[in-house]
Amino acid sequence: MSGELEQLIEQQIETWTGVAPPSDVARAWAEQLAAVIDGFEALRGTLAFEEEPSGFEAALQATKE
């Protein structure tokens, strides 16, 4: 992750939650979000307009034993 993105993430967390990085390990965990961002980029366009979280309970019933 670039230093710029690392700074952005720290600023975002500080701004929204009031939490500063508690350790270098925390910064390293945050750096791993770059891979998560890549993962979401690869999935763009797959979410349908009508989908919503409550569809999961219906899917459990629809696919059950």
Partner 1 sequence: MQHAFPPNPLHMTLVEAAEAVRSGEVTAVALTKASIDAFKTKDAAVNSLISLDEAAALEAAEGLDRLRDAGRLLGPLHGVPLAHKDMYYRAGKPCTAGSKIRADFVPSYTSTALHRLEAAGSITVGMLNMAEFAQNPTGHNAHYGDCHNPWGLDYCTGGSSSGSGAAVAARFVFGALGSDTGGSIRLPAAMCGVTGIKGTQTRVSRYGAMPLSFSADNVGPLARTARDCARLMGAIAGHDPMDPTSAREPVPDYEAALDGNIKGMRIGVPTTYFFDGADDEIVAAVEKAVSLLKEAGAEIIELPLPHMDAVSTYGSIVSRCESAAIHGEWMRKRAADYAVHLSGRIYGGMAVPAAYYIEALSRRGPILKAFGREVFDKVDAFVAPTLRMPVPTLAETDIDRRGAPAISSFNAISNNTRAINYLGLPSVSAPCGFDRNGLPIGLMIQGRPFAEARILKIADVYQRMTDWHERRPEAAA
Please give the size of the binding site for partner 1, defined by CB under 8 A.
41
Write each residue from 4 to 43 as x if it is in contact with partner 1 (CB under 8 A), else as -, in one continuous string: -----x--xx--xxxx-xxxxxx-xxx-xx--x--xx-xx
Q: How far is the CB of 35 from partner 1 (least distance, A)?
A: 9
Check residue 10 and report its DSSP letter.
H
> Does 57 sit near partner 1 (CB under 8 A)?
yes
How far apart CA 18 and CA 11 sit, in angstroms, is 10
Q: What distance separates the 2 farthest-apart alpha carbons in the chain?
A: 50
How far apart CA 13 and CA 52 sit, in angstroms, is 26
In the bound state with partner 1, the residue whose beta carbon lies nearer, of 2 and 43, is 43
How far apart CA 54 and CA 36 sit, in angstroms, is 23
Q: Which residues bind partner 1 (CB under 8 A)?
A: 9, 12-13, 16-19, 21-26, 28-30, 32-33, 36, 39-40, 42-43, 46-48, 51-65
